[in-house]
Amino acid sequence: MEEKVEQVNKKENKGSMLFDFASVVMTGIIAIAVVFTFFFRTATVSGWSMFPTLNHGDMLMVTAFDNTHEAGDIVVVTQPNAFNEPLIKRIIAVGGQTVDIDFDKGVVYIDGVAENPEYTLASPTNERENFNGPVTIPEGFVFVMGDNRNSSSDSRSNAVGLIDERYIYGTVLGRISPAGSWDVI
């Protein structure tokens, strides 16, 4: 009789351990889902408009938690555009700032000061569709450009235009893939 009780107890222990393990796994999955739903998201770079900072196929960690946007931030934009896809660009100017571009000299001016970023591939020397500067950015909007300035459809183009901050999906925190290259200056 004692042997049967012992066997039943062992079965109950195994069942309890299995239940505990399943409970821990499910709690972990739910916690990860909550974190990635409310705090972090991922995005994959499509194209070369952010080269040399980002490459086609890079997977990025994006935060949707911080709604303050500053010049220099790399953002994922979901605003409807002519390409019908999210865009990954760098904020050049925010509401209240003025942007002008001298395509002959390849210089971008923010509030009359020449921008001199180390992250761009080349200065913008080809005119982009309908840009007529200077443009003062309205509050609640940002002006974005790709780091590969001569191969980027961005706020210089009517196909993209100024970005309403409500359509910023998130700010890029770092690169998940390829591994070992987190920094995205």
- Tens-place pLDDT, residues 62-119: 887 777 889 999 999 988 887 788 999 999 999 999 999 988 888 899 999 998 888 8
Q: CATH number of 42-177: 2.40.50.140, 2.160.10.10, 2.10.109.10, 3.40.50.720? A: 2.10.109.10
Which is it for the CA torsion 51, 52, 56, 62, positive or negative?
Answer: negative
Read off the pTM.
0.77
Instruction: Measure the CA–CA gap between 99 and 117, rounded to whole angstroms.
Output: 15
Q: What are the DSSP calls for 88-105, one per residue?
A: EEEEEEETT-EEEEETTT
Residues 159, 64, 180, CA angle at the centre, nearest 5°? 95
Q: For residue 138, what pLDDT band results from cuts at 50, 70 and 90?
A: very high
Residue 14 clears pLDDT 80, i.e. is over it: no
pLDDT at 30: 75
3-state SS, residue 43: strand
